Amino acid sequence: MTNDILQSDIDLARKLLDGRRPSDEIVAALSYRGIDRHRAAQLVADLQAGRPVEPDRPISVNLPSRTSEDPAPAAEKQSGKSTQTDLAGERGASRSTHRKANAFPWFTMIALAAAAVCVLAFVLLRRKSHSNVSVNQSASPASDQSMTESARSKQPTPGHGLDAKAISVEVEPEGLRLCGNPVARENFLPLIFKTLGAPTRTNQVEKADQVVYAYDSCGLLVYAPKNSGHCSIVLDFDGSDGAAGTKNAFIGTFKINKQAVRPNTDAASLGSIKELGLQAPKSASGIFHAQYGAVELVFGYLKTRERLSLIEIDFK
């Protein structure tokens, strides 16, 4: 998340305005994405007034080019170095010629020895390869089948931790399970990396003192504190992209005490889960809070209360 206004923030505000959503709800939705509330209100006012709105851009700094130095001294130095190099080369050539005239032909002897070793190695390898071929030809078909089955058993299971549809997130009274593995604050990041593998990208959230690991192919975000703070997992059902979203929507399974919650689960159906204790938003922001077991849950109905946009699971 960042306080800068991105193009995705402007697109979201326009969609909500086109859907005739109240201004305070749009401001709340933009604030949830990390934009200052005053800037969010100004953005909504500008869009309602029909004024052009542009996303924030990074400040570029143009540094002056280095001034060229006087080439004359460099040329003189180069000329001096060239003269010294020529003299050194002549002396070195003279010494080398003198040494070659008196040196024993070690190079020739080493080359001949190396050639003899290569020929011997070639002969030995040829004999060994012929022996292996004869052994393999005499092996039984049962042995070949056994070796094939053993090789197949050593291969990793395809799609481990990468199949978006196979990802399951389950909230239970005892805690959270990711793909059947219990997740706690103590093993938060190691367990996620072990289960899902390396993230697609990593975003730095300076103001929140957090690091965001985005799994774009899975529709899942992981928030981890740099020093201290709470850890979070966000399921993005919209695939909103940007710093606060993923490129693809979450299509895995999410359950609360064995009861499935899907993108089309409306707010009324969610409130019928008694053990969840859903708290309705105090404003028209569409953000619902709940406490279940050791985790806190946030349900975001950013566009309509008939469809979920995201689910956030917080570890305090």
Over 80: is that where the pLDDT of 91 sits?
no
Could you list the residue range(s) of the whole structural domain that residue 253 is in? 164-315
Residue 140 lies in a domain: no
Residue 218 lies in a domain: yes
Residue 144 lies in a domain: no
Residue 287 lies in a domain: yes
Residues 168 and 304 in one domain: yes
Over 50: is that where the pLDDT of 157 sits?
no
Residue 130 lies in a domain: no
Residue 96 lies in a domain: no
Eight-state DSSP code of residue 275: G
- Residue 191 CB partners (closer than 8 Å, separation 6+): 178, 181, 182, 183
pLDDT digits (tens, 9 = 90+) for 114-152: 888 888 888 787 776 655 545 455 544 444 454 444 434
Residue 236 lies in a domain: yes
Residues 34 and 176 in one domain: no
What the block records as the tokens of 299 is 């349900």
What the block records as the tokens of 311 is 């689910």
Please provide residue 76's backbone torsions phi and psi, each rounded to the nearest 5 degrees.
-65, -40
- For the chain, the domain total comes to 2
Rounded Cα distance between 221 and 249, Å, is 11
Residue 70 lies in a domain: no
pTM score: 0.50
Rounded Cα distance between 278 and 296, Å, is 11
pLDDT band for position 97 (50/70/90)? low
Sign of CA dihedral 241, 270, 230, 2: positive
pLDDT band for position 253 (50/70/90)? very high
Residue 289 Cα distances to 58, 67, 152, angstroms: 35, 61, 48
